[in-house]
C-alpha cells in the first residue's frame, strides 16, 4: 500500500503504487505462458474530475454517485435486466462507459477467458450519499451477481478497482486510465497474486472491494459454513430491504480472500468501522495476554461469541477510501514492513525495496508485529497507532456489562 499524509490526491501516488506493484512481480506467478499472469490489480480513490471529463452524461457531486468496472460475458445482452434491478433497489443508471483496454501483451490463456469491460455509473433516487449510497449499491451488486453471469470488481462512491488476470507489468498497459495524469488518488492498494488454492481467473485477482491479502485463511471452510448457518439470524437496520435477497453473503466458489472480503464488507456496511470489523475477524492473541486492558479483553471476548477468527498466516491490507491499513495474523507468519518519509509518504509492503526511497528521507520504519494493526487516516493526515485504535474500540460500548449480563458458561 502507498498513501500520503498530505491530504492531497495526486497521480504520483498512483504511479508509485504501480511501481511498487512491478517490483512485487516475484510475489505473483504465471503458468507456462509468461504473459498470462495469476493476477494483478490496484485500488484507488474514485478520480472524480477525470471521469467527468471522459463521460458524456452528467454526474452528481462527489459522493452522490457510485461507479465500478463490470466484467461482462461476450455479447452480453441483458442490460435491461440490470436497469430493472437498479430501479427495484432505488437506484438510477446514470450511464455506461466503454472502458478502454489494450490486450496486445496478454497471453493466449488470459485472452481465452477475458471478459468484456464496461464501467457503470449510478445514483440513488432518494439522493442518498456516501455510506447510504454504498449500502444501496451493495444490495444492487449482490442481486445482479446472483442473477446474471457478471462480476463487479468494485461498485462504490469512494473507491475503484482495476484488476485482472494479468502480470504486474501488464496492468498499466491493459488499463490506459491508469497512465492518464488526470487519474489522481491519495492512496493506492496493489497486489500481485500467486494462485494457491484456486485456479487463476479474472475475478479472483486482488485487490477485492476492501482488501488485498498475502497468505492463506486456513479456517475458511469453517468460516464459510458458520456464515451460511447464521444467515437466518442476520438483521440490519442500515442495509435497506429484506436482507435475505442478498444471500448467500459468501460465494462458495470464491477464494479464501474473496470470502474474507465479502464478510468484511457486510460487517462494515452494517455499521462498524473498518478497523472494528477487521478485529472481529482477525483478533490478536488476547486469551492469555496478561498485559492488555480489561476493556480490550472484554471487547475480544464479546466478539468471539459472534464470530470465529479467520485464522491462518495472513497479512491483510484494507481500505474504504478514507482510511487505509494492514493487520497481521496473531502468529505473525507473514512479512509486513512499513516506511514513513519526511514529506508524508507512507509505504507498507511484504518486503523492503518496493520503492526506491533515499535513507535520509525516512523518518520512521518498522515491521508490523503479530496481531498488530497499522492504520493511516487519509482525511486526517495521520497514522493512528495500534493501541489508540484498540482502546478506542474497546471503550465504544459496555462490552464487559454485556458479557456479565448475557454470557453463560457451560461449567456454570
Per-residue pLDDT, 318: 98
Residue 189, all three cell numbers: 492498494
pLDDT mean over 348-357: 91
Asked if residue 383 is part of any domain, the answer here is yes
Question: 172, 179 in Cβ contact below 8 A?
Answer: yes
Q: From residue 56, how far is each of 61, 121, 191, 331 by CA, in Å?
A: 16, 12, 32, 51
Asked if residue 96 is part of any domain, the answer here is no
Question: 157, 127 in Cβ contact below 8 A?
Answer: no
Q: Write the burial class of residue 401 (CB in 10 Å: 0-12 exposed, 13-18 middle, 19+ buried).
A: exposed
Neighbours of 96 (CB within 10 A): 16
C-alpha–C-alpha distance, residues 208 and 236, integer Å: 23
C-alpha–C-alpha distance, residues 118 and 349, integer Å: 31
C-alpha–C-alpha distance, residues 296 and 293, integer Å: 5
Asked if residue 304 is part of any domain, the answer here is yes
Asked if residue 120 is part of any domain, the answer here is no
In this predicted model, what pLDDT tens digit does every residue of 20-60 receive, in sequence order? 999 987 665 556 666 776 789 999 999 999 999 999 999 99
Q: Is 181 helix (H, G, I), strand (E, B) or coil?
A: coil
Residue 59, all three cell numbers: 454526474
Asked if residue 187 is part of any domain, the answer here is yes
Asked if residue 282 is part of any domain, the answer here is yes
Per-residue pLDDT, 334: 86
Per-residue pLDDT, 107: 87
Asked if residue 310 is part of any domain, the answer here is yes
Q: What is the DSSP code string of 229-280? A: HHGGG---SSS-S-GGGG--SS-TTS-HHHHHHHHHHHHHHTT--HHHHHHH
Residue keyed to cell 444492487: 140
Phi, psi of 242 (to 5 degrees): -75, 115
Instruction: Check whether 355 has a pLDDT greater than 60.
Output: yes
Residues 6+ apart with CB under 8 A from 378: 3, 4, 7, 186, 187, 321, 322, 323, 324
Domain that holds residue 356: 2-45+165-406
Half-sphere CA count of 22, side-chain side, radius 13 A: 12
Instruction: Check whether 292 has a pLDDT greater than 70.
Output: yes
Q: How many domains does the chain have?
A: 1
Residues 6+ apart with CB under 8 A from 70: 117, 118, 119, 120, 150, 151, 152
Mean of all residue pLDDT scores within the chain: 93
pLDDT mean over 353-359: 92
Instruction: Check whether 180 has a pLDDT greater than 80.
Output: yes
Instruction: Check whether 197 has a pLDDT greater than 70.
Output: no
In this predicted model, what pLDDT tens digit does every residue of 101-111 receive, in sequence order? 999 989 898 88
Per-residue pLDDT, 290: 83
C-alpha–C-alpha distance, residues 111 and 165, integer Å: 9
C-alpha–C-alpha distance, residues 306 and 205, integer Å: 29
In this predicted model, what pLDDT tens digit does every residue of 81-91 receive, in sequence order? 999 999 999 99
Asked if residue 103 is part of any domain, the answer here is no
Question: pLDDT tier at 398 (50, 70, 90 boundaries)?
Answer: very high
In this predicted model, what pLDDT tens digit does every residue of 234-271 receive, in sequence order? 999 999 999 999 999 999 888 999 999 999 999 999 99
Positive/negative CA dihedral, 294, 299, 300, 305 = positive
Question: pLDDT tier at 412 (50, 70, 90 boundaries)?
Answer: low
Q: Express as a percent the part of the chain with pLDDT over 90.
A: 80
Q: Is 35 helix (H, G, I), strand (E, B) or coil?
A: coil
Question: 186, 13 in Cβ contact below 8 A?
Answer: yes
Per-residue pLDDT, 371: 94
Q: What is the CATH number of the domain that holds 247?
A: 3.60.20.10
Instruction: Check whether 115 has a pLDDT greater than 80.
Output: yes
C-alpha–C-alpha distance, residues 242 and 235, integer Å: 9
Q: Express as a percent the part of the chain with pLDDT over 70.
A: 95
Question: pLDDT tier at 201 (50, 70, 90 boundaries)?
Answer: confident
In this predicted model, what pLDDT tens digit does every residue of 217-236 receive, in sequence order? 999 999 999 999 999 999 99
Neighbours of 388 (CB within 10 A): 12
Per-residue pLDDT, 184: 99
Supply the DSSP symbol for 26. G
Per-residue pLDDT, 365: 95
Amino acid at each position: 500500500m502507498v498513501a500520503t499524509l498530505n491530504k492531497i490526491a495526486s497521480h504520483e501516488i498512483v504511479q508509485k503504487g504501480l511501481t511498487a506493484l512491478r517490483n512485487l512481480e516475484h510475489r505473483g506467478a504465471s503458468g507456462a505462458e509468461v504473459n498470462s499472469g495469476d493476477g494483478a490489480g490496484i485500488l484507488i480513490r474514485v478520480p472524480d474530475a477525470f471521469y467527468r471529463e471522459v463521460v458524456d452524461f452528467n454526474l452528481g457531486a462527489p459522493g452522490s454517485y457510485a461507479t465500478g468496472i463490470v466484467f461482462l460475458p461476450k455479447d452480453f445482452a441483458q442490460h435491461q435486466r440490470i436497469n430493472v434491478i437498479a430501479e427495484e433497489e432505488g437506484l438510477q443508471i446514470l450511464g455506461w462507459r466503454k472502458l478502454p483496454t489494450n490486450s496486445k501483451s496478454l497471453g493466449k490463456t488470459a485472452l481465452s477467458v477475458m471478459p468484456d469491460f464496461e464501467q457503470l455509473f449510478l445514483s440513488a433516487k432518494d439522493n442518498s450519499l456516501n455510506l447510504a449510497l454504498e449500502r444501496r449499491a451493495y444490495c444492487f451488486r449482490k442481486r445482479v451477481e446472483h442473477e446474471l453471469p457478471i462480476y463487479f470488481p468494485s461498485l462504490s462512491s469512494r473507491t475503484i478497482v482495476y484488476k485482472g488476470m494479468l502480470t504486474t507489468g501488464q496492468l498499466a498497459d491493459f488499463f490506459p486510465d491508469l497512465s492518464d495524469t488526470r487519474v489522481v488518488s491519495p492512496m493506492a492498494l496493489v497486489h500481485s497474486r500467486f494462485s494457491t488454492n484456486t485456479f487463476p481467473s479474472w475475478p479472483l485477482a486482488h485487490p477485492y472491494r476492501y482488501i488485498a491479502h498475502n497468505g492463506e485463511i486456513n479456517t475458511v471452510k469453517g468460516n464459510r459454513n458458520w456464515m451460511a448457518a447464521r444467515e437466518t439470524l442476520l438483521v440490519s437496520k442500515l442495509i435497506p430491504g429484506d436482507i435475505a435477497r442478498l444471500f448467500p453473503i459468501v460465494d462458495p466458489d470464491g477464494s479464501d480472500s474473496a470470502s474474507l472480503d465479502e464478510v468484511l464488507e457486510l460487517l462494515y456496511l452494517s455499521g462498524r468501522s473498518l478497523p472494528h470489523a477487521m478485529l472481529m475477524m482477525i483478533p490478536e492473541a488476547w486469551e492469555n495476554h496478561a498485559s492488555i486492558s480489561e476493556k480490550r479483553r472484554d471487547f475480544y471476548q464479546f466478539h468471539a461469541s459472534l464470530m470465529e477468527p479467520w485464522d491462518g498466516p495472513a497479512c491483510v491490507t484494507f481500505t474504504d477510501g478514507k482510511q487505509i491499513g494492514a493487520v497481521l495474523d496473531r502468529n505473525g507468519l507473514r512479512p509486513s514492513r512499513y516506511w514513513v518519509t519526511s514529506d508524508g509518504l507512507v509505504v507498507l509492503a511484504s518486503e523492503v525495496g518496493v520503492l526506491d526511497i533515499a535513507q535520509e528521507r525516512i523518518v520512521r520504519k518498522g515491521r508490523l508485529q503479530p496481531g498488530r494493526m497499522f492504520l493511516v487516516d487519509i482525511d486526517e493526515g495521520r497514522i493512528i497507532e495500534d493501541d489508540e485504535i484498540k482502546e478506542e474500540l474497546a471503550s465504544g460500548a459496555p462490552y464487559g456489562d454485556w458479557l456479565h449480563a448475557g454470557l453463560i458458561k457451560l461449567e456454570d
